Structure 1
Amino acid sequence: MKGILIIMISRGDAQVLQSEIAHFQENNAALRVKLRLTDKELDRSRATLRIFKEEREKLQTKVKNLQDILQDKGISPTTVSPPGSPVLEELSSFTSEHIHILSELKPHQNFSRCENPVSCAPDIHPSNMESEMKWLRRHLDRVKQLNEQLSMTLQECKTDSEKLSMHLGKVESTCTALRLALQASERCLKTYSVLLALAEAKQEIILGQISSGDALNSGWKLLPKDLEIKTKLFLMEVKKIFQREGKISISETKKIGCQTSNR
């Protein structure tokens, strides 16, 4: 029996181990799939990066060539429009034409007398500088117009901001007034609720006197002195509270006392 029990336990352990091995094999297969996908994405990223590097090198070469052409012409690269603009295309065509004319005039003219090539350029093509100046003036006019539009927009934004600030101040003052009115209403509600309780107590006393037949003889004289004293003390406390908070004047508290005595 002991041997059979040992065999059964070992079979159960084997099943557990087999299930764990299958589970780990599934996890391993899933990880391998993820790894292959990651490798593919990495290859695509490397290819894209290689393409970007080639494009960057091409663009750098183009920029360098344009800068060399502009330096040969004597124009600062910062004053030229961005790549792809019509002005840059005109400038490139104009530069190529200028280089072609220089190559034609080189055998017939001695350029050794000109120490500064920029100073010699106007002697060769004075109209080129005029066209450049016209382009610069047009560009300056556009910048001035844009500056004026931005100034007008800024002024409108300032005006709107001032209007919003004034409206916000009005709303804040209205909220403060409503909050104070709400607090005063809550205090008045509490006061009138207590006065109502006192009036109900007096009414119960009067009804008790009427039912006992002593109301005609006694009237208000038989009211308990403790109730009158408590009423006066309560009115004094109410006056102190309102005088301390400064929300209700002394005359209004006197009116409340008169209404209580009349009741």
Structure 2
Amino acid sequence: MTKIISVNDLSYQYPDADRPTLNHISFEVNAGEWVAIVGHNGSGKSTLVRALDGLIDFKSGTVTVAGTKLSPESVWLVREHIGMVFQNPDNQFVGATVADDVAFGLENAGVPRPEMQQRVQDALEAVDMWQFAEREPSRLSGGQKQRVALAGIIAMNPSIIVLDEATSMLDPHGRQTVLSVLQHLRRSNQAPTILSITHDLSEAAQAQRLLVMDNGQLISEGTPRAIFSDEQLLESTGLDLPFSTKLSQQLAKQGLIAPKHYLTDDELEDWLWQLHLTM
């Protein structure tokens, strides 16, 4: 498979810090893959993705994106491949209307107006926000704002979408709406690579692979099933158990023993339904 991101021996320490925020990090991401980066607050997750986009001036290690080694000279070329969605969408709004905001990046890129208008509409329809195209962004709900921020990235059609705790401020419905949009994108013909930073392990379970960070180090990586089955790892890194694991533990106290391997929410629901049919 084609490698779209390659990080080799990356280290970084903030000037006023007493230890590195990133400590010899190395990993690769395949094109079209969804990778979730998890870890407790202060583990280095956000600093890591900021390094990928050239937002911090690291001195040790290398970052290569879509075949281009990141450097001060190549940073704008690298950024053409990456769309970032941050925790607070208000910090990303620049347009007077929703449509204006989504069009902002396209205008800067010199996209012809007819194409720009179509891409704006397509992106807003993809996140179910076209009906709000003429609305002021400040009058939207938190979930709607985050969908508009995501639409602005979709319109630019980057090969990599990075979500930095982008769903942490949303209610469950808003979070699921954003995740559903990402799942839809992954089923498209030009599925983007997705990097999502999250502390919500139920959300991380939707990714194909997890990177687990602790104290600036990458301490484990694997499928959600492999990571979530390692309760000792989750406990040592201060990560909460996914909802399905917690429910399985409560069911066990009632004498209903689920399979020992990790079950996603859907798999646990299927298992409970089959169990119900045999009772």
TM-score by length of 2: 0.16
Q: Which has the higher contact order (CA 8 A, sep 6+)?
A: 2
Name the structure where helix makes up a greater proportion of residues: 1
TM-score by length of 1: 0.17
Name the structure where strand makes up a greater proportion of residues: 2
